[in-house]
């Protein structure tokens, strides 16, 4: 967990009343650009905290307006989600897909504002809203001394899962560093904590994970982002070959760590969540990386199918195609209106 999803920041944001507010002036942007990355990171955090303190009914209304605007303007989020549904759910009728598409956009917009609250409010306050299922499974795995890998799909509120994991003990969270130093600094502030170590998804840093696991510690990974070409293997995901990371497989095979799935799904509209922890198929540690990736994706798919609207379908999961397949990037024509 901690590998930030691909999200775009709109140039203008809908207000609670449904109108569109313009972004900052050029002079304001110039002043921000002259700030050091550390100052910009703190400014981002202060902004997030201000938004996160607003009443949830108001934030929910803003999120629903944002989702509506994505749909009406055929924004990137809308186009990608629609294309993913065409690929992953071909059995649905056009009407069923349209209904699920609207639910996904609403869920995605709400999740964006949920995360601001999660990041900027006391973890104890956030975790008080959590129904816990499978917590004893995680505690037992950690107590075994073998090391624990928590594979956390982009489902529900994965940042709340981070906070729950750090409540149970020290955790190394793998994340993909953004290009902006200021955004990276913001993430350090937002996700930081006494029990949290943020590890970049880069060669030298990843080696730290083997030591954490061999010492009996815990590692959290978001396993369903597409790696760079050559850094993974193709395995089925919703029946479509998807380039899949092999990091979970390599860590589990070489250290003997226990692999668990973990997620926090929404349980209603009022910031109630349900934690779930379940064991992964032992095949995720198989010596054959394709078999291991197939088992990993099968578990992720099972979780996503629990409530498809809570999965991150606004992410381009299938851009890279198997070499020699002749398949084109399925998102290349996503801009066509529906």
∠ CA 311-245-153, nearest 5°, is 20
What's the CA gap between 37 and 39, in Å, rounded?
5
Average pLDDT over residues 73-99: 98
Helices (H) and strands (E) in the chain, counts: 12, 11
Asked if 149 contacts 221 with a C-beta cutoff of 8 angstroms, the reply is yes
Q: What is the pLDDT of residues 131-177, one digit of tens each?
A: 999 999 999 999 999 999 999 999 999 999 999 999 999 999 998 88
Asked if 319 contacts 240 with a C-beta cutoff of 8 angstroms, the reply is no
What's the CA gap between 185 and 189, in Å, rounded?
6
What's the CA gap between 244 and 236, in Å, rounded?
9
Average pLDDT over residues 68-81: 98
Concatenating the DSSP letter of every residue in 214-245 gives HTT-EEEE-TTS---TTSEEEEEETTEEEEEE
Average pLDDT over residues 245-271: 96
Round to the nearest angstrom and report the end-to-end CA distance of the chain. 34
In this predicted structure, what is the pLDDT of residue 269?
A: 79
Tell me which of 18-22, 120-124, 235-239 is least confident.
18-22
Is 207 exposed, middle or buried (CB count within 10 Å of its CB: 0-12, 13-18, 19+)? exposed
Q: Is 50 exceeded by the pLDDT of residue 211?
A: yes
pLDDT band at 3 (very low <50, low <70, confident <90, very high): very low
Tell me the CB-side half-sphere exposure of residue 326, using CA atoms within 13 A.
0
Q: Which residue from 338, 313, 316 is spatially nearest to 105, judged by alpha carbons? A: 313
In this predicted structure, what is the pLDDT of residue 37?
A: 86
Average pLDDT over residues 251-275: 96
Mean pLDDT across the chain, nearest whole number?
A: 90
Q: Is 80 exceeded by the pLDDT of residue 217?
A: yes
Asked if 15 contacts 62 with a C-beta cutoff of 8 angstroms, the reply is yes
In this predicted structure, what is the pLDDT of residue 31?
A: 62
Asked if 289 contacts 189 with a C-beta cutoff of 8 angstroms, the reply is no
Asked if 108 contacts 10 with a C-beta cutoff of 8 angstroms, the reply is no
Angle, to 10 degrees, between the axis of helix 158-168 and the axis of helix 94-120? 40
């Amino acid at each position: 967990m901690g590998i930030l999803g691909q999200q775009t920041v709109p140039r203008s944001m809908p207000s609670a009343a449904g109108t569109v507010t313009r972004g900052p002036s050029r002079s304001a942007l110039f002043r921000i650009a002259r700030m050091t990355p550390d100052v910009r990171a703190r400014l981002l955090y202060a902004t997030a905290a201000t938004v996160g303190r607003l009443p949830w009914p108001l934030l929910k209304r803003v999120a629903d307006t944002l989702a509506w605007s994505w749909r009406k303007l055929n924004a990137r989020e809308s186009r990608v989600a629609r294309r993913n549904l065409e690929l992953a759910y071909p059995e649905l009728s056009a009407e069923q897909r349209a209904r699920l598409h609207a639910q996904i956009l609403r869920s995605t917009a709400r999740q964006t504002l949920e995360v601001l609250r999660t990041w900027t409010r006391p973890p104890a306050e956030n975790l008080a809203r959590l129904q816990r299922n499978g917590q004893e499974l995680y505690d037992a795995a950690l107590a075994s001394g073998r090391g624990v890998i928590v594979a956390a799909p982009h489902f529900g509120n994965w940042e709340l899962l981070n906070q729950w994991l750090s409540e149970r003990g020290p955790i190394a969270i793998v994340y993909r560093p953004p290009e902006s130093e200021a955004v990276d600094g913001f993430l350090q502030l937002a996700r930081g904590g006494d029990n949290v170590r943020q590890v970049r998804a880069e060669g030298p840093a990843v080696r730290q994970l083997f030591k954490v696991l061999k010492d009996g510690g815990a590692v959290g990974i978001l396993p369903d982002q597409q790696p760079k070409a050559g850094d993974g293997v193709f395995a089925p995901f919703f029946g479509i070959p998807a380039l899949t990371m092999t990091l979970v497989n390599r860590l589990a095979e070489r250290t003997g760590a226990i692999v668990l799935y973990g997620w926090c799904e929404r349980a209603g509209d009022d910031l109630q969540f349900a934690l779930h922890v379940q064991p992964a198929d032992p095949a995720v540690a198989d010596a054959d990386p394709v078999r291991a990736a197939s088992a990993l994706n099968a578990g992720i798919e099972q979780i996503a199918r629990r409530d498809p609207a809570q999965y991150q379908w606004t992410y381009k999961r299938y851009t890279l195609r198997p070499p020699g397949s002749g398949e084109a990037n399925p998102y290349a024509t996503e801009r066509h209106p529906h």
